[in-house]
Amino acid sequence: MNEYRATVRKTVSRTLYIAVLWTILWVVLPGWKDIFSGLAIGSAVSVYFAISVARQTEMAAAVSVRKEKKKPITAMVSRIAIVALAVMMQAKLGYPNVLLMILSFFTYQGVILADLFINRGNKLGRW
C-alpha cells in the first residue's frame, strides 16, 4: 500500500506541476491566453480527477477488505459537476480553447503513461 500511495502522490504532484505551468503561461503570455487558459482549466480539472480517483480507490480497497457492498456514487456525480463547472467557466470567460481544455482533462492519464514508460525503461535491466 505504501508503494501505491507513493505512486499516487508522485502522479498527482506532477499533474499539479503541469497545471501550474499552464496557469503561469496563461498569466505571462496574454497573447496566447486562449490556448493556455484552456490548458490550465482542463489540467486543474485533471488534478481534481487524480485526487478523486485516489480517494475512490482507497475506499474500494477498504470496502473489499470489509466485504461490504457500498457503491461510491458521490465521486461520479462530483466529477460530472466539476466538468460542468469547467464548461461554464469557459462560457463565462469566452476565450479558452475548448478543444485544448477537453484534451487537457486527460493530463493525469498522460502523466501515468509517461511514468509507466519511463519506469519500464529503468526496470528492463533488473529482474
CA distance 37 to 127: 44
- Residue 85's pLDDT is 85
When comparing pLDDT for 126 and 71, which is higher? 71
- pLDDT category at 123 given cuts 50, 70, 90 is low
- Residue 2's pLDDT is 79
- pLDDT category at 53 given cuts 50, 70, 90 is confident
CA distance 114 to 119: 8
- Residue 20's pLDDT is 96
Measuring CA to CA, which residue among 11, 92, 23 is closest to residue 47?
Answer: 11
pLDDT, tens digit (0-9, with 9 covering 90-100), for 76-112: 778 788 888 888 887 888 777 888 888 999 999 999 9
Q: Where are the domains of the chain?
A: 2-107
- Residue 116's pLDDT is 85
- Residue 15's pLDDT is 93
CA distance 42 to 38: 6
pLDDT, tens digit (0-9, with 9 covering 90-100), for 2-46: 788 888 899 999 999 999 999 999 999 989 988 999 899 999 999
- The answer, as to whether pTM is greater than 0.85, is no
